[in-house]
Structure 1
Amino acid sequence: MEKMRISSVSIADIEILQQIGKDTFFETFSANNSEEDMKKYLENSFSIPKLTAELNNPDSRFFIVWDDVNAVGYLKVNFGQAQTELQDDTAIEIERIYVKSEYHGQKVGQLLYEKALEIAEQEQMKYVWLAVWEENQRATRFYTKNGFVAFDKHIFRLGDEEQTDIMMKKELR
């Protein structure tokens, strides 16, 4: 396997972003949600117009991890008003770190996480926060191992189902 590399995502990469987004979300959550709810969520959340708006938002940034020529994971971070919940100017939100299942255990998530920390430090943020589904034990362990602590909960709606996300944060300074 070639060395993993990270690149910033631009509008020219939107179809790759759309595909990696759909693939990794489906792999992560399809076993616990109805086919209908998954289909609707993927169509809405990863539509070209929605992704275009997100990519054009100056307070959001996307990055893709590549294994040679294959996109294997991605990161989305948000600042200011682009943050989904807190909208704290002293914080950065990791909205998404997703990795294709066949790359789990190969440090791809860690690479993306370290990219988010690098950005937070460059921007002199006080803390990093995120939300993780309470049933996603793998992700919860990953973030806890990296120094995050739970501080609240919120509801994430997927179709007709309400799911509880644990909100976690890591102080940087």
Structure 2
Amino acid sequence: MTTVALAPTRDVRVVRDLSVATFTETFAADNTEEDLAEFLAHDYAEDVLQREIDDPDSVFVLAEVDGVPAGYMKVNVGEAQTEPHDGRYLEVQRIYILAGYKGHGLGTRLMREAFAMARRLGKTRVWLGVWEHNDAAQAFYGKFGFVRTGEHGFQVGDDLQTDWIMEADAA
């Protein structure tokens, strides 16, 4: 029997390993080796991730399948958000699932948890950024009512890419 657990985590090594593996699986083919290596070394360094984990306005939720880390979600409120938003908003900064666990409902469970967290915190809007060429992720987010409301830059090494900003009602 497969068991799935979602729980907050502060384990920086698990978060780092999942971050590097999932980002590489998803985006290596669309970035140069140098840009990818620079991004991973900078954005997913243990000290950077530890500061994020220690931020009281951020929460990391780990998804495990039969006790094995399979992915995670990072949500932000307040000053931890990657773009300025007022007090009504919760940001889903990352939902990362290892390729071998995609299609098993983990992303759906994590997204439902994000909406539940937003409601518990009294937030009325949920927002996120998604790469403009990531059609699968955009379709997934659309199932939760997210619509495109803008865009912002996302730096991968020397390559400035465009992320779409998408928002949904938290209700």
So what's the TM-score if we normalise by structure 1?
A: 0.95
For the 8 Å contact 2:37–2:157, the answer to whether it is kept is no
Task: Classify the secondary structure of the residue corresponding to 2:22.
Answer: helix
Alignment of 1:40 with 2:38, yes or no, is: yes
Alignment of 1:3 with 2:3, yes or no, is: yes
Q: Percent identity?
A: 37
Q: Which residue of 2 aligns with 1:79?
A: 77
Q: Distance in 2 between matches of 1:14 and 1:157?
A: 22
Q: Distance in 2 between matches of 1:52 and 1:161?
A: 25
Can you give the 5+ residue segments of structure 2 that lack an aligned partner in the other structure? none
RMSD: 1.0
So what's the TM-score if we normalise by structure 2?
A: 0.97
Q: Distance in 1 between matches of 2:140 and 2:38?
A: 28
**Which of the numbers 93, 98, 103 marks the counterpart of 1:95?**
93
Q: Distance in 1 between matches of 2:159 and 2:41?
A: 17
Q: Distance in 2 between matches of 1:88 and 1:28?
A: 31
Q: Distance in 2 between matches of 1:49 and 1:170?
A: 32
For 2:34, give the aligned amino acid. E
Instruction: Tell me the number of residue pairs that the alignment of Structure 1 and Structure 2 aligns.
Output: 171
Ranges of 4+ aligned residues in structure 1 off by more than 4 Å: none
Q: Which residue of 1 aligns with 2:120?
A: 122
Deviations for 1:76-111, whole angstroms, at most 9, x for unmatched residues? 000000000023211000000010111111111101
Alignment of 1:26 with 2:18, yes or no, is: no
